[in-house]
Amino acid sequence: MKIGIVLGTRPEIIKMSSLIDEINKHDDECVIIHTGQHFDDEMSKQFFIDLNLPLPDYNIGIGSNTAIKQISIIISELEKILIDEKIDIVLVQGDTNAVLAGALAANKLKIPVGHVEAGLRSFDKDMPEENNRIIADNCSSLFFVPTKENAINLQNEGINHKDIHVTGNTIVDACKRNLKIAIEKSGVKDIIKYDKYIVLTLHRAENVDNPERLKNIVRSLLKLEYNIVFPLHPHTKKSLEENDLYEQMLKSSHIQITKPLGYLDFLYLLSKSSLVLTDSGGIQEESITLNIPCVTLRYNTERPETISAGGNILAGTEEKEIKYNIESILNNEEVYEKMANAVNPYGNGDSSEKIYSIIKDAFENNRLKIKSSDTIVDFEGYLMKNITNDITVEEFENENKNQIIEQIFYNGLPEFIDEKTNLKNKSIIIKKFKQRT
Ligand code: UD1
Ligand code: UDP
């Protein structure tokens, strides 16, 4: 089997690293295609070094550009690469422009797509990431969702439950595999100025490209009575400079700005911090994995399970709210302990093993082919049924050929559809077909 991995930014390299290792452990071929969206060594090459990965086979080199230029160039370059390489399945991870372009290019070539970290939804169409992940999911054949909540989002959008696999998040694999190495090897401790500190990261377009929000956040940081270590994303550096905020932050004695850090250095920094303040997606997941309370500088999150687990709080970007949330965690031991001990919803670090074996099984059993039916299939419509007898999802669908369960409700709430779920006393929504031979 030949697997093509399309990636373009720092978090995709980190979150695909354990899966690349897994593929390379077996007899399969892995072709890594970097779009070049992140191009500075500290945003890209450093992660291949830290994570011991083979360098990409291709780099499309799109660099900084408008989203439309980036996406259209990636798609047309991928056409040649995917055809020449005779790729059996394309894997994309997350919600960046590489994910949208990779999924769309493969879909147009009828190459199946596996979406790692599928099903996340912030329900905020103003975010480029939300649109990217929805389009990528629409182009995909296999959905590797971190949690059951993500699966329910896809069920709601009519995705067949047979293609949805709850695998946890590969960020846990990356954290667990690298934390010990980071603690032994990272040299970042020699440059951190403070014993106790908050880690800050900021880069999302909705914050850093919005001068009002950016100013509010910076105003709040400048007044905080805690030390802050701030590895600065190049996107944010540019916006801080454009808004005359960079110098003010640089001069502040309780804020230490560093370059973007490599993965081992960042893991070390995060694991020794008191709290993380961030708008990053991956860091909301890593903080709950490493038992560090997280305050998210956003108004919504596609990672709501970190909040319901109790490890993360949405603070928005207003000065007062940011200060209030940080103080109420750091000045109250009980609150702090509760957040730090929140149960990680993203699995135990075996996501990449699970994902690899699902792909392998689908490939070997010829289930990766995109092909329509040779018999006439009439779509009859949707039905709702209340089930009163003991019957599992698998048994129901075997008994009722041409009926696919789209959603299960129990006590008014939707449930993740597992083949073994007993449907007794539950309501189901079914998609019904009539097949003629
Ligand atoms: C991108 C993703 C975002 C993800 C983030 C991870 C999209 C739409 N956005 O945002 O979802 O959370 O990566 O970090 O795909 N720049 C450099 N050097 C680099 C990379 C970027 O200088 O190596 C600067 C450029 O000036 C560029 C700006 O940062 O214009 C923004 O880069 P871009 O890749 O468009 O978006 P990110 O903010 O990195
Ligand atoms: N990260 C890193 N160095 C840094 C900041 C972040 O290695 O200086 C890692 C972090 O550990 C996480 C990932 O980058 O795994 C998150 O990427 P980012 O915040 O850029 O993007 P997002 O997750 O929001 O898409």
In a domain, 98, yes or no: yes
Q: Are 317 and 220 in the same domain?
A: yes
In a domain, 369, yes or no: no
Say yes or no to pLDDT of 168 above 70.
yes
Q: Are 406 and 269 in the same domain?
A: no
Looking at residue 343, what DSSP letter applies?
A: P
In a domain, 175, yes or no: no
Query: Torsions phi, psi of 392, nearest 5?
Result: -85, 170
Please give the tally of structural domains in the chain.
Answer: 3
Residue nearest to atom 5 of ligand 1 (CA): 9
- β-bridge pairing 275-278 and 142-145: unpaired
In a domain, 407, yes or no: yes
Say yes or no to pLDDT of 101 above 90.
yes
Ligand nearest to the CA of 49: 2
pLDDT of residue 369: 81
Say yes or no to pLDDT of 245 above 80.
yes
Say yes or no to pLDDT of 57 above 70.
yes
Say yes or no to pLDDT of 270 above 90.
yes
The catalytic position among 203, 233, 235, 254 is: 203
Ligand nearest to the CA of 132: 1
In a domain, 249, yes or no: yes
Give kind and range of the element (H or E) at residue 137.
helix 128-138
Start-to-end C-alpha separation, the chain: 33
| 8 A C-beta contact, residue 297 and residue 277 | yes
pLDDT of residue 372: 86
pLDDT of residue 375: 87
Residue 231 alpha carbon to ligand 2 centre in Å = 10
Of 421, 343, 6, 317, nearest in space to 172 by CA:
343
Q: Are 96 and 186 in the same domain?
A: no
Q: Which ligand 1 atom is the nearest neighbour of the CA of 96?
A: 15
| Mean pLDDT within 195-210 | 98
| Mean pLDDT within 233-246 | 98
Q: Are 279 and 383 in the same domain?
A: no
pLDDT of residue 342: 98
Residue nearest to atom 24 of ligand 1 (CA): 235
- Taking the C-alpha atoms of residue 114 and residue 5, their distance in angstroms, rounded to an integer, is 10
Residues having CB within 6 Å of any atom of ligand 2: 10-11, 14, 201, 203, 231, 260-261, 263, 266, 280-283, 286
State what percent of residues in the chain have pLDDT above 90.
Answer: 96
User: CA distances (Å), 296 to each of 155, 210, 292, 328, 434, in order?
Assistant: 27, 17, 12, 14, 48
235 given a catalytic annotation: no
Say yes or no to pLDDT of 163 above 80.
yes
Q: Are 77 and 19 in the same domain?
A: yes
State what percent of residues in the chain have pLDDT above 70.
Answer: 100
Q: Which ligand 2 atom is the nearest neighbour of the CA of 267?
A: 11
Say yes or no to pLDDT of 175 above 90.
yes
Residue 12 alpha carbon to ligand 2 centre in Å = 9
In a domain, 65, yes or no: yes
Residue 269 alpha carbon to ligand 1 centre in Å = 22
- Taking the C-alpha atoms of residue 35 and residue 101, their distance in angstroms, rounded to an integer, is 10
Q: Are 72 and 109 in the same domain?
A: yes
Residue nearest to atom 10 of ligand 2 (CA): 283
CATH number at residue 353: 3.40.50.2000
Q: Give Cβ neighbours of residue 242 (< 8 Å, ≥ 6 apart).
A: none
Give kind and range of the element (H or E) at residue 186.
none
Task: Give pTM, 2 decimals.
Answer: 0.98
Residue 224: band (very low, low, confident or very high) from pLDDT cuts 50, 70, 90: very high
Residue nearest to atom 19 of ligand 2 (CA): 280
| Mean pLDDT within 405-410 | 98
Residue 222 alpha carbon to ligand 1 centre in Å = 25
Of 264, 259, 306, nearest in space to 281 by CA:
306
pLDDT of residue 60: 98
In a domain, 370, yes or no: no
Ligand 1, pocket-test mutation among 38, 41, 70, 201, most atoms within 8 A of CB: 38
The better pLDDT of the pair 437, 425 is held by 425
Residue 367 alpha carbon to ligand 2 centre in Å = 34
The pLDDT tens digits for 118-133 are 999 999 999 999 999 9
Q: Are 335 and 395 in the same domain?
A: no
Q: Are 281 and 194 in the same domain?
A: yes
Q: Which ligand 1 atom is the nearest neighbour of the CA of 132?
A: 8
Q: Are 413 and 432 in the same domain?
A: yes
Q: Are 317 and 295 in the same domain?
A: yes
Give kind and range of the element (H or E) at residue 71.
helix 67-85
Say yes or no to pLDDT of 315 above 90.
yes
Residue 335 alpha carbon to ligand 1 centre in Å = 34
Q: Compute the mean pLDDT over every residue in the chain, rounded to the nearest whole number.
A: 97
Q: Which domain holds residue 313?
A: 180-340
Say yes or no to pLDDT of 81 above 80.
yes
The pLDDT tens digits for 369-396 are 888 888 888 999 999 999 999 999 999 9
In a domain, 12, yes or no: yes
Say yes or no to pLDDT of 437 above 70.
no
Q: Are 117 and 56 in the same domain?
A: yes
Q: Are 68 and 158 in the same domain?
A: yes
| 8 A C-beta contact, residue 260 and residue 43 | yes
pLDDT of residue 377: 87
